[in-house]
Structure 1
Amino acid sequence: MKCYLGSHIHPIGWTDMSGFLAADARFYEYKNFGPGVLENICRNQLTDDEANGYTKTSILDGWNPGK
């Protein structure tokens, strides 16, 4: 989310890794920027409404890494 993607990022985006199929995963991007940004069928994009659900609180589920 909102990350700089350099030109080294492959246009296809996510690929299979260590026996895990990218097609079975839930990888999404949101408002990234830079020369590696490309929207296509292989690089799912979150909508604004979907992205609003991903907050530090919801992702960390109460865990405070500063403590």
Structure 2
Amino acid sequence: MPRSATDLLDLSELPAPQRREVRDFVQFLLTRQAGAKKPAASYRFSDLCGTMAWKGDAVAAQRSLRDEW
């Protein structure tokens, strides 16, 4: 049976809360490393909030909003 990363460290001298913190941090790092190997997902925000058909001039609308300040 393969040994985990936390089994390789002798944490017996640490108090229980610090041992748990070290184990949690090692698990966090291992999870983060495993997640980094996966390809990045491409997000489509229109799936979350829908789409909007814009009929006007986007630059003119932005300028009018800016000029309100």
TM-score by length of 1: 0.22
Structure with larger Rg: 2
> With CA pairs under 8 Å and 6+ residues apart, which has the higher RCO, 1 or 2?
1
- Pick the structure with more helix per residue: 2
